Structure 1
Amino acid sequence: MSSHSQSPIRPQSDPQPAGKEGKTVKKPIWKRWWFWLVVVIVVVAFAASANGGNGSSPSAQQSSQSSTSQSQQSDGSKDTAGQSGDTSKQEESKVPAEYRSALKQADTYANVMHMSKQGVYDQLVSEYGGKFSAEAAQYAIDNVKADWNANALAKAKSYQDNMAMSPEAIRDQLVSEHGEKFTADEAAYAIEHLND
């Protein structure tokens, strides 16, 4: 007879607590992780559809509203201004979104960065720039409001002040195919008014 001591056998406990009727107790649905994941996905989808449904950004809507109100104030007749405002809104809604985006970028390039007309076009269609279609870029160039002579002058002054370049070197840089791409007339205007 061996002297092995046997450990007492313990009854196995139930893996899950039982309720009054012997059913397993489950967590409420709002305490489960997947429930909250579903809630977040639904909320995000709803918010995206609510924001994307109108097709234009809030800033674009504000700018069109402010331009309409300005035209109403500048005209003596509110009826005429209201009709022209409605017409411009209808015309704007017919313009594809890509064209409107290209025009907005063109405005930044022309009026903030003082680029030339050709420089703006090239930046819009560049694979490293806007990547717009040639048609959208041409629409933007045709409709952007910019003073190309003033842009050439701003660039010329920048070259003179920051790089101490001579007027002839500035002219060459302004018209260069690898430089600013201004026309010869725009470069001549810039050099003529360089020291004004």
Structure 2
Amino acid sequence: MSKKITDENGNTYVQKKPFYKRVWFIVLVVLSIVIGAVSTMGGGKDDSATKVSNSKTSSSTKSSSSSSSSKPKVSAEFTAALKSAETYASTMHMSKAAIYDQLTADAGNKFPEDAAQYAIDNVKADWNKNALETAKTYQNDMNMSTEAIRDQLTSEHGNKFTSEEADYAVQHLNE
């Protein structure tokens, strides 16, 4: 809400709220905090599965030293990017492109592009299922039409799913 101010000459000016008091800024800050909290606490159950997988891998690679040298070590930053990507895919049902953007965004995780690309290349997700879950949310919570859902799923400013993933979601929406 803006405030009208009249000076001594009778000129009327509109004084706007500072940006930090506007609704969009507050929503952005809250969303950033929630995403940060989700990305830092994601991985509790996944860690144990990863450790089991890693222990099996390390025991099998002990027998042949050539295979252990062919598998490069991954930096902590790449591992963190992958864990964040897994969280976004499994809890928020995001698309590959949306996850990549979130990982590299200045208002997001701020990972370097190579770490984000590593995460996208290695995250295990069913992208059709993610598109379907997102479509169900649009249908149930926002009462959107099928075409509006398809447009939102594939939009550059929306979810950034592929056309094939959006088609799958729309075809399976009422099952």
Give TM-score scaled by structure 2 length: 0.65
Q: Deviations for 1:94-135, whole angstroms, at most 9, x for unmatched residues?
A: 101110000000000111110000000000000011100000
Q: Which amino acid aligns with 2:106?
A: E
Q: Which residue of 2 aligns with 1:134?
A: 113
* Residue 61 to residue 166, structure 1, CA distance change in 2 (3 Å): closer
Long gaps (5+) in structure 1: 1-57, 73-80
Superposition RMSD in Å: 2.8
Q: Paired residue for 1:193?
A: 172
2:160 counterpart letter in structure 1: K
Residue ranges of structure 2 left out of the alignment (5+ in a row)? 1-43
Q: State the alpha-carbon separation in 1 of the partners of residues 86 and 122 from structure 2.
A: 9
* Pair 1:169–1:60, CA change in 2 (3 A): closer
Question: Offset of 1:179 from its aligned partner?
Answer: 0.5
1:145 paired with 2:131, answer: no
Secondary structure at the counterpart of residue 107 of structure 1: helix
The higher relative CO (CA closer than 8 Å, separation ≥ 6) is in 2
- The one-letter amino acid of 2:115's match is A
TM-score between the two structures when normalised by the length of structure 1: 0.59
Question: How many residue pairs are counted as aligned between the two chains?
Answer: 129
Q: Greater strand share, 1 or 2? A: 2
Partner of 1:82: 59
- Provide the identity percentage: 55
Which among 145, 161, 172 is matched to residue 182 of structure 1? 161
In 2, distance between residues paired with 1:85 and 1:109?
34
Is residue 101 of structure 1 aligned with residue 80 of structure 2? Answer: yes
Residue 82 (structure 1) shift: 2.0
